[in-house]
Amino acid sequence: MLDIGAGTPENKTDSGPAFLLVTPDHALHDHRLDEMVERVVMRTPVYDIHTHLYAPAFGSLLRWGIDDLLVYHSLVAEGFRHWELPYEKFWSQDKSTQAELIWTSLFVQSSPVSEACRGVLTTLHALGLDVRPRDLPVIRQWYAGHKVEGHLMRVMDLAGVRTICMTNSPFDDQERAVWQSGWSRDARFTSALRIDPLLLDWPAARRHLAASGYQVSEAPDARTLGEVRRFLSDWSHHLRPLYLMISLPPDFAYPGDPTTTRLIEEAILPFCEAHNLPFALMPGVKRAVNPALREAGDGVGRADLAAYERLFAAFPRNKFLVTALPRENQHDLCVVARKFRNVHLFGCWWFTNVPSMVDEITRMRLELLGLSFTAQHSDAQVLDQLIYKWQHSRRVVAGVLKDKYRDLAATGWQVSEAEISRDVEALSGGAFEAFLLRRF
């Protein structure tokens, strides 16, 4: 029979089997270690590498304030679960009426426990507002007394964000106008060049390029591919992007549709390689599952990661940033990243940016990839969301890291605060910046 109390003479004690032994000393050490991890995670500023925010110079493209917080697409989707109101009726209301409908249904008539609702409260609370009276006019009044520049500084400070990467699309008329008229750059904001229409809607992208003076034809012949590279080059000149980026449907195939495949192989990836720019791929989004919900109507579907493996293997000199939307892709994606050093995983994207998923995904990535990934990005659509997206994620990431350092401590391995800082900096943007500099 197995004697579970058996041990060597040195570690066998009267207080029980050696493998169960937890002395008060250990407990104290664990407690100090937890405090140290908590302190480091809370004080380490992050590089928010994917957002939908803009520098104040972009005017109304930068959304902020209580009404924008309330009409966030996640809350719109949750609101409709309470209403019989026709979709079009909601969309025909002005923003403040929409915000009031959401506030009444999701905050007054039921408790705001969902992640998107809780986020509004975390944000208001951090800004010093009393949320107990549930008084929307008072909150609006508070915002009316603030200007965007001061608010931006306060939000970045409360969120612990050092740099914000914008998502910039040359296909968007409003922002194109700002880039073309020029703006004096703001060091707090960097840029990513978003190119979805190029691969997802070539006829529309082609029309756009043709209207902007590029000699492109329907078939991706040599001249057209050259013109697409020229388009990328011109926009990279304006934007100085850190990376190019696209979100992809579940059925994305590589090799796949011949036009898409040629655009990837002969325009996008050669351009990226020549400029040492990663191509960010975001698999698993099903656009317009319910078009009546407009921007709240997108869904999720499991992606075929074999297509991505083929792409990473075929282009070892290109770099790829990847975050997947489906929970079901997360484990496979970690394994893929272990096979390809030209792949850097980042963030818990969109529907996975809820505490239970952030915990699971971050834990899995640490266990399979060590510290060679970026733990989180906010995907913030509204400036104020930076506060809650980062406060909530930090708390989860700190919890996961405490467990991991405790596991190390149990082997006798000791970590210093400086080493924990180094590790947390890597997860908070440092590993991403190192990846940007890498050349294969």
Residue 391's binding partner among ligand RAT, Zn ion, none (Cβ under 5 to 8 angstroms by kind) is none
State which residue, 51 or 372, has the beta carbon closest to Zn ion.
Answer: 51
Per CB under 6 A, 423 contacts ligand RAT: no
Pairwise CA distance, residues 375 & 357, whole Å: 12
| Strands 243-248 and 189-194, bridge-based pairing | parallel
State which residue, 78 or 379, has the beta carbon closest to Zn ion.
Answer: 379
The site string for ligand RAT over 19-58 (x = CB under 6 A, - otherwise) reads: ---------------------------------x------
Per CB under 6 A, 379 contacts ligand RAT: yes
State which residue, 50 or 319, has the beta carbon closest to Zn ion.
Answer: 50
> What is the nearest approach in angstroms of Zn ion to the Cβ of residue 18?
51
Per CB under 6 A, 385 contacts ligand RAT: no
Q: Which residue is nearest to Zn ion (CB)?
A: 379
**Binding residue (CB under 6 A) for ligand RAT from 98, 323, 372, 381:** 381
> What is the nearest approach in angstroms of Zn ion to the Cβ of residue 194?
9
> What is the nearest approach in angstroms of ligand RAT to the Cβ of residue 194?
8
Q: Is the dihedral of CA 12, 13, 15, 20 positive or negative?
A: negative
Pairwise CA distance, residues 307 & 304, whole Å: 6
How many residues bind ligand RAT (CB under 6 A)? The answer is 5
Per CB under 6 A, 374 contacts ligand RAT: no
**Number of residues written out for the chain:** 440
State which residue, 112 or 278, has the beta carbon closest to Zn ion.
Answer: 278
Contact 37, 153 (CB under 8 A): no
Token pair belonging to 421? 């800082």
State which residue, 227 or 379, has the beta carbon closest to Zn ion.
Answer: 379
Residues between 52 and 71 that touch ligand RAT (CB under 6 A) = 52
> What is the nearest approach in angstroms of ligand RAT to the Cβ of residue 247?
4
Token pair belonging to 274? 């020549």
Place of tokens 């975001």: 282
> What is the nearest approach in angstroms of ligand RAT to the Cβ of residue 218?
27
Pairwise CA distance, residues 375 & 228, whole Å: 33
Residue type, 394: R
Per CB under 6 A, 286 contacts ligand RAT: no
Residue 378's binding partner among Zn ion, ligand RAT, none (Cβ under 5 to 8 angstroms by kind) is none
> What is the nearest approach in angstroms of ligand RAT to the Cβ of residue 22?
43
> What is the nearest approach in angstroms of ligand RAT to the Cβ of residue 228?
21
State which residue, 33 or 164, has the beta carbon closest to ligand RAT.
Answer: 164
State which residue, 246 or 337, has the beta carbon closest to Zn ion.
Answer: 246
Interface residues with Zn ion (CB under 5 A) are 379
> What is the nearest approach in angstroms of ligand RAT to the Cβ of residue 52?
6
Per CB under 6 A, 320 contacts ligand RAT: no
CB atoms within 10 A of CB 415: 16
> What is the nearest approach in angstroms of ligand RAT to the Cβ of residue 435?
19
Residues between 336 and 355 that touch ligand RAT (CB under 6 A) = 350
The site string for ligand RAT over 230-259 (x = CB under 6 A, - otherwise) reads: -----------------x------------
Residues that bind ligand RAT (CB under 6 A): 52, 247, 350, 379, 381
